[in-house]
C-alpha cells in the first residue's frame, strides 16, 4: 500500500479556538521505501502565530503573508493523499486541524479521503509504556539522526518520522526476499534439484530459541497483535 507520512505546523494548539495550519509536509513510502515524491506547503493562516508556537517552529508571521491560503492548496493535498495510509505522530492533533480547515471549505473530514490513519504515538506507547515517546525521544531510542532538528518543521519532521516508523515496525522488511531480476517466462527460471544434496539438520539451542521468541514478540507488538502465528485457529 502507498503510505504518506504527514506532519503539520500550526499557529497554536487549538483548532477549535481558531488556530490554523501554517505548514504541511508529506513524505511518500511505497513498499516501505522512500520514493522522493514528497509534498510541502507553507500556508498563509490569515492570523498571527502565538508567541509560544513561534518558539517551536520559528516561522515568522511576515514570511507567511504571501503564501497561499489553505483553500488554494486543499485540492492538491487531497489528491496527493487520496487512498493512502497516512502515518502521523499524535494523529488526533494534525487530523483535528485538517478537519477544521476542510470544514471551512465545506469539504468532508480528512479520513474520508484516505484509506486509514496510523498514529505512531499510539504505537510507541504500546511498545515503550511509561517512557517518553516524543519524536525526538524516538529518534534517540531508535538511532535516527535528528541532529539537524533545532526547530520543528513539517517536512523535516515527516522525513524523521518516516525513519522512525520503519524502525518501529522493524522486522517486516527482513521478511522480504530479493529474488533479483526474473524473466516473465517462468520456464526461464533456473531450478535446482535439492535431492542431490545431503543437508544436515541443525537444531537450535536454548539461547537461539529464546532470541527467536524475542524477535517474534517484537514483531507481534509492532503489528499490534495481528501476527498470524499468534491468532487462534478460530480467528
Cite the active site residues: 152
CA distances from 99 to 9, 86, 87, 94, 168 (A): 15, 14, 16, 9, 27
Q: What DSSP string runs through 186-235?
A: GGGS----GGGS--------HHHHHHHHHHHHHHHHHTTS--GGGS-TT-
With H, G, I as helix, E, B as strand and everything else as coil, classify residue 53.
Answer: helix
Cα(142)–Cα(1) distance, rounded to whole angstroms?
24
Q: What are the start-end ranges of the H helices in the chain?
A: 51-57, 61-64, 70-81, 91-104, 120-127, 135-142, 154-168, 206-222
Amino acid at each position: 500500500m502507498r503510505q504518506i507520512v504527514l506532519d503539520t505546523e500550526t499557529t497554536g494548539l487549538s483548532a477549535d479556538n481558531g488556530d490554523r495550519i501554517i505548514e504541511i509536509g508529506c513524505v511518500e513510502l511505497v513498499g516501505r521505501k522512500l520514493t522522493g515524491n514528497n509534498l510541502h506547503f507553507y500556508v498563509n493562516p490569515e492570523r498571527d502565530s502565538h508567541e509560544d508556537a513561534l518558539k517551536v517552529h520559528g516561522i515568522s508571521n511576515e514570511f507567511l503573508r504571501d503564501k497561499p491560503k489553505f483553500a488554494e492548496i486543499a485540492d492538491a493535498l487531497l489528491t496527493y493523499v487520496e487512498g493512502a495510509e497516512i502515518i502521523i505522530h499524535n494523529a488526533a492533533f494534525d487530523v483535528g486541524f485538517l478537519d477544521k480547515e476542510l470544514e471551512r471549505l465545506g469539504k468532508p473530514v480528512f479520513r474520508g479521503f484516505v484509506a486509514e490513519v496510523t498514529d505512531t504515538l499510539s504505537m510507541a506507547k504500546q511498545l515503550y509504556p511509561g517512557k517518553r515517546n516524543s519524536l525526538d525521544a524516538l529518534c534517540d531510542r531508535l538511532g535516527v539522526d535528528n541532529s539537524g532538528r533545532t526547530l520543528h518543521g513539517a517536512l523535516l519532521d515527516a522525513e524523521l518520522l518516516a525513519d522512525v516508523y520503519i524502525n518501529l515496525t522493524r522486522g517486516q522488511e527482513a521478511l522480504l526476499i530479493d529474488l533479483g531480476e526474473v524473466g516473465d517466462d517462468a520456464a526461464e527460471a533456473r531450478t535446482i534439484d535439492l535431492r542431490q544434496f545431503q543437508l544436515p539438520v541443525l537444531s537450535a539451542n536454548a539461547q537461539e530459541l529464546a532470541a527467536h521468541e524475542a524477535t517474534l514478540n517484537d514483531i507481534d507488538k509492532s503489528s499490534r497483535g495481528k501476527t498470524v502465528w499468534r491468532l487462534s485457529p478460530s480467528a
